[in-house]
Amino acid sequence: MKLLKNKKFRIILIVAVFVIVAILSINRFSGVNIIRNIVTIPVSWIQKGIYNIDQYFTEKRFTRKQYQELLEENKQLRAENEHLREENAAMSFLEDKNRLLRQALALKDIFEGYDIIGSNIMGSDPGNFVYRYKIDIGTRDRVKPDMPVVAANNALYGRVYSATYTTSVIVPIIDENAGISGWISKENGGHVNIKGDIRYKERGLCLIENVSDNVELVVGDVVETSGLGGIYPKGILVGVITEIFYDEITNERFGVLQPYVDFNSISTVFVMMEKTE
Amino acid sequence: MYSYRWYAYVLIAVNLILEPFISKWFSIGVAYPDMLLILMLMLSMGRKDNQILIVSAATGFVYDMLYSRFLGPMTVLFFLRGLVTIVIGRRFKQENVLMLTLAGFAMALVSRVYTIILSVGFKDFFRAFGMFIADIGFSALYTALIIAVVTTIMFLIYNSYGRRSKRLLYGQNNRDT
Q: What is the pLDDT of residue A73?
A: 92
- State yes or no: pLDDT of B176 exceeds 50: no
- State yes or no: pLDDT of B177 exceeds 50: no
Residue B135's alpha-carbon distances to A58, B126, B144, B147, in angstroms, are 24, 14, 14, 18
Q: What is the pLDDT of residue B175?
A: 47
Using CA atoms, how far apart are residues B73 and B70, in angstroms rounded to an integer?
Answer: 8
Q: What is the pLDDT of residue B170?
A: 53
The pTM assigned to this predicted structure is 0.51
Q: CB A40 to CB B65 under 8 A?
A: yes
Q: Region B118-124: what's the mean pLDDT?
A: 82
Q: CB A43 to CB B16 under 8 A?
A: yes
8 Å CB contact between A194 and A208: yes
Q: What is the pLDDT of residue A130?
A: 54
CA torsion sign for A14, A17, A19, A25 is negative
The nearest CA of chain A is from the CA of B52 a distance in Å of 15
Q: CB A43 to CB B66 under 8 A?
A: yes
- State yes or no: pLDDT of B98 exceeds 90: no
Element (H, E) at B139: helix B129-160
* A35 and B CB contact within 8 Å: yes
Using CA atoms, how far apart are residues A36 and A34, in angstroms rounded to an integer?
Answer: 5
Q: CB A25 to CB B61 under 8 A?
A: no
Mean pLDDT (chain B) is 79
Q: What is the pLDDT of residue A84?
A: 94
Among A33-37, A127-131, A169-173, whose mean pLDDT is lowest? A127-131
Q: Region B148-164: what's the mean pLDDT?
A: 74
Q: Region A216-240: what's the mean pLDDT?
A: 88
Q: What is the pLDDT of residue A75?
A: 92
Q: Region B63-74: what's the mean pLDDT?
A: 85
More confident residue, B161 or A54: A54
Q: Would you place residue B48 in the very low, low, confident or very high pLDDT band (cuts 50, 70, 90)?
A: low
Q: Determine which of B21, B26, B62, B65 to mutate to test the interface with A (most A C-beta atoms within 10 Å).
A: B65
- State yes or no: pLDDT of A183 exceeds 80: yes
8 Å CB contact between B135 and B125: no
Q: Would you place residue B1 in the very low, low, confident or very high pLDDT band (cuts 50, 70, 90)?
A: very low
Q: What is the pLDDT of residue B5?
A: 64
Check if the interface score ipTM surpasses 0.90. no
Using CA atoms, how far apart are residues B22 and B3, in angstroms rounded to an integer?
Answer: 26
Instruction: Spell out which residues of chain B touch residue A22, defining contact as CB-CB under 8 Å.
Output: 70-72, 75
Q: Would you place residue B162 in the very low, low, confident or very high pLDDT band (cuts 50, 70, 90)?
A: low
- State yes or no: pLDDT of B173 exceeds 50: no
- State yes or no: pLDDT of A78 exceeds 90: yes
Q: Which residues have C-beta within 8 Å of that of residue B128, sequence separation ≥ 6? A: B120
